[in-house]
Homo-oligomer: A and B are copies of this chain.
Amino acid sequence: MHRDRIRLPALLDKVVSAEAAAAYIRDGMTVGMSGFTRAGEAKAVPMALAERAKTEPMKITLITGASLGNDLDKQMAEAHLLSRRIPFQSDPALRREINDGEVMFVDQHLSETVEMLRTHQLGPVDVAVIEAVAITEQGGIIPTTSVGNSASFAILAEKVIVEINLSQPLLLEGLHDIYIPTRRPVRHPIPVVAPENRVGLPFIPVDPSKIVAIVVTQKLDSSSTVLPPDQETRDIAGHLTELLKHEVKAGRLTTTLQPLQAGIGTIANAVMHGLIDSPFHNLTMYSEVLQDSTFDLFDAGKLDFASGSSITLSKAKYQAVLPDFARYKPKLVLRPQEISNHPEVIRRLGVIAVNTALEFDLYGNVNSTHVGGTMMMNGIGGSGDFARNAYLSVFVTKSVAKGGAISSVVPMVSHVDHTEHDVDILVTEQGLADLRGLAPRERARLVIANCVHPAYREPLADYVERATARGGHTPHLIEEALGWHARLRETGSMQAG
């Protein structure tokens, strides 16, 4: 059975139950699991582990590509299975454990985790658990809807468990491009010079003797939680489209733009969606997560090619895309996140990067991760990989949150994930600030004029005025700089009494 999925006959007798496979994972181990933004995660073994941890005290270090679907981070967190979690998550239950100090969370640039594993700065990986469409005649593992860190996990791990997911169509075969950088001291350039370049193998090459267990599953990926565009996200998209049109007019871009990246989430997805009604054409993406908007852009005839590390769609979009996948496949490639997010390739291609800010400040510093400077939300993800190396680094957010109690534009951000040196463009529904070539004092004027919600414009202008009177390249009243956050904590609102 499943000979179309397990094509190396010697591996057929490795098929076992999830519980039996999970038995290879023991207390104290480091486990690498497939999964990137709710796509292509191993589904049965983590669930079996969570079950086991309810009765048998055990803790593991869990490294993934990014966030897991199917509530797996929740299940494992609630079973107190995780002592350490790397490099990204987005689950409320796990987030609680992280903020309580129960789980040690290492919030890393997504391109860097396997670089650290490969050089033994993290790890070693005891067991890799990888969801696959199939295993080839040579024992190569064909991933499903994400590549993430799966290739390096499988290559570096002592033991490999494969989950063959029958609900993932065989048509996914050929979608992936597995390229692993050569080892130092002499590492060759990564040969990707355009989003559509294929430079590796369509499967993960592993020694089949390392595959100790195969579990057959058929649970679907979770669908994405992205919300449809609303008036404010449409306004944000509109401001950015205007900027891009201006760049074309100024001769800095052509009407095909440069490869696009969009961070995970509702706003970035909406911004990409906004390009449907733009004059741009023959677009390409060099991104990490391919969301609904990627396929909307294909359908609108706007997008020629998309490179990513995972495909994460809403339920409706998934149902529309899947039957027609053969039509999309030639325009798609999924890469290891080390390559989709690699500084070398992002800089070379001149990516236009659009990521979501939690808050930003007058001078262009961006907080992507910490609510109130202390509470972890999801993690930096790939935003830093892209923002630092992009041709144009754009951050988007709505100007206020919690019905106006929180201003997303503050005197000083309470945590910095992207420094003023890395941010080119800030956009809210109010408007856009182009910070390129500007000094801090000039940036502050522009941000207040263009991005701040009217309710916070005067207090921010007042802050800048008083700070500037005191002097400094980056004027601040250091004793008040985080006062808005302190007030929010005290009163539930950043607005003055």
The distance from the CB of A251 to the nearest CB of chain B, in whole angstroms, is 7
Q: Evaluate contact between A104 and B421: CB separation under 8 angstroms.
A: no
User: Which residues in chain A, 75-116, are within 8 Å of chain B measured between CB atoms?
Assistant: 84, 86, 98-101, 104-109, 116
A315 at the interface (CB under 8 A from B): no
With a cutoff of 8 Å between Cβ atoms, the chain B residues found around residue A316 in the complex are none
A70 at the interface (CB under 8 A from B): no
Provided the pairs A350-B187, A421-B107, A441-B101 are in contact, do residues A116 and B436 lie with their beta carbons within 8 angstroms?
yes
A121 at the interface (CB under 8 A from B): yes
A376 at the interface (CB under 8 A from B): yes
A280 at the interface (CB under 8 A from B): no
A202 at the interface (CB under 8 A from B): no
A344 at the interface (CB under 8 A from B): yes
The distance from the CB of A346 to the nearest CB of chain B, in whole angstroms, is 9
With a cutoff of 8 Å between Cβ atoms, the chain B residues found around residue A252 in the complex are 119-121
Provided the pairs A104-B439, A252-B120, A384-B421 are in contact, do residues A481 and B373 lie with their beta carbons within 8 angstroms?
yes
Task: A140 to B334: give the CA distance in the assembly, Å.
Answer: 45
With a cutoff of 8 Å between Cβ atoms, the chain B residues found around residue A105 in the complex are 439, 473
Pick the contact of A350 from B184, B342, B471, B475 — CB < 8 Å? B184
The residue in chain B whose Cβ has the minimal distance to the Cβ of A489 is: B478
A365 at the interface (CB under 8 A from B): yes
Q: Evaluate contact between A187 and B99: CB separation under 8 angstroms.
A: no
With a cutoff of 8 Å between Cβ atoms, the chain B residues found around residue A470 in the complex are 374
With a cutoff of 8 Å between Cβ atoms, the chain B residues found around residue A389 in the complex are 343
Pick the contact of A474 from B186, B376, B441 — CB < 8 Å? B376
With a cutoff of 8 Å between Cβ atoms, the chain B residues found around residue A376 in the complex are 472-474
Name which of A168-176, A394-402, A409-417 contacts chain B: A409-417
Q: Evaluate contact between B421 and A108: CB separation under 8 angstroms.
A: yes
User: Which residues in chain A, 359-379, are within 8 Å of chain B measured between CB atoms?
Assistant: 365, 370, 372-376
Q: Evaluate contact between B372 and A478: CB separation under 8 angstroms.
A: yes
Q: Evaluate contact between B373 and A104: CB separation under 8 angstroms.
A: no
Name which of A125-133, A190-198, A266-274 contacts chain B: A190-198
A419 at the interface (CB under 8 A from B): yes
A2 at the interface (CB under 8 A from B): no
Task: A189 to B191: give the CA distance in the assembly, Å.
Answer: 7
With a cutoff of 8 Å between Cβ atoms, the chain B residues found around residue A194 in the complex are 185-186
Provided the pairs A120-B250, A189-B190 are in contact, do residues A184 and B349 lie with their beta carbons within 8 angstroms?
yes
A347 at the interface (CB under 8 A from B): yes
Task: A366 to B395: give the CA distance in the assembly, Å.
Answer: 22
Provided the pairs A104-B439, A442-B104 are in contact, do residues A481 and B478 lie with their beta carbons within 8 angstroms?
no
With a cutoff of 8 Å between Cβ atoms, the chain B residues found around residue A251 in the complex are 120
Q: Evaluate contact between A416 and B121: CB separation under 8 angstroms.
A: no
A74 at the interface (CB under 8 A from B): no
Task: A471 to B414: give the CA distance in the assembly, Å.
Answer: 15
User: Which residues in chain A, 316-372, are within 8 Å of chain B measured between CB atoms?
Assistant: 342-344, 347-350, 365, 370, 372
With a cutoff of 8 Å between Cβ atoms, the chain B residues found around residue A227 in the complex are none
With a cutoff of 8 Å between Cβ atoms, the chain B residues found around residue A258 in the complex are 184-185
Q: Evaluate contact between A374 and B344: CB separation under 8 angstroms.
A: no
Task: A468 to B467: give the CA distance in the assembly, Å.
Answer: 31
Additional 10 contacts, C-beta under 8 A, given A187-B193, A373-B474: A109-B421, A121-B252, A121-B437, A344-B344, A344-B347, A370-B472, A374-B473, A374-B476, A384-B419, A479-B483
Question: 10 A-B Cβ contacts within 8 A?
Answer: A101-B468, A107-B420, A121-B437, A188-B193, A189-B190, A370-B473, A374-B475, A374-B476, A384-B419, A478-B485
